[in-house]
Structure 1
Amino acid sequence: MESNYNERAQYERAQKRVKEIKGFYGNLTAYIVVNIFFVIINLLTSPEHLWFYWPMLGWGIGVVFHGLQVFNAMPFFGKDWEERKMKEFMEEEERRKNEFK
């Protein structure tokens, strides 16, 4: 019985991970397509005033952080930090419950 539970939990974690990776690649694809469109529009309408790099820069920063998070490359606020913080909160809540008993 416990084996089934562990397999199910593993499957759900893997499924969540695949969904996160697909989300990142969807974001990256949209970033590339939209920014190509911005470059074309900018160069066709006002080549003397280049503005396309501003949305490219802003959205690019977001894409980089999204990739760092999805691929667990965050030097801070990574999975280890998240798990430690959750454990800390759970222990704190348990301690508070025991105080009122």
Structure 2
Amino acid sequence: MDINKSNFRKAKNKVEKLKRFYTHLGVYFIINTIITVVKVMSNMNMGETFEEAFFDFSTVASWLVWGLVIVIHAFSVFGLPLIVGDDWEERKIQQYMNEELQQDKNYE
């Protein structure tokens, strides 16, 4: 029964991480699309062509900077478990619990 609870907790944690990532990705596309439309329209009103306005660095910068953050987030969700293992969190929790127990024993 305890193993089932542990497995359920791990699966739920993975689903929550995926949900946060996909939400982040959706917000990234929505907000950057709005920023791009506003900047392109503003630049075109100032006399630039569509191409000049669209490929202006200030227009593309938010996609690039936030895109880097998305890549890091994706790595933490998909890549990091491949490197450190799926049970890394469980091992770290156990390590810290053992350290706390050891400290408590030292004070007794």
TM over 0.5: yes
Identity of aligned residues (%): 26
Measured after TM superposition, the shift of residue 25 of structure 1 is 0.9
Q: TM-score, normalised by structure 2?
A: 0.68
Structure-2 change in CA distance of 1:90 and 1:12 (3 Å): closer
What corresponds to 1:10 in structure 2?
7
What corresponds to 2:33 in structure 1?
36
Q: TM-score, normalised by structure 1?
A: 0.71
Structure-2 change in CA distance of 1:17 and 1:34 (3 Å): same
Q: Quick check: 61-70 or 32-41, which moved more? A: 32-41
RMSD: 2.7
> In proportion to residue count, which structure has more helix?
2
Structural mapping, 1:66-81, within 5 Å: 66-71=73-78, 73-74=79-80
Larger radius of gyration, structure 1 or 2?
2
- Specify every segment of 5 or more residues in structure 2 that has no aligned partner in the other structure, as ranges: 44-52
- Specify every segment of 5 or more residues in structure 1 that has no aligned partner in the other structure, as ranges: none
Aligned residues: 97
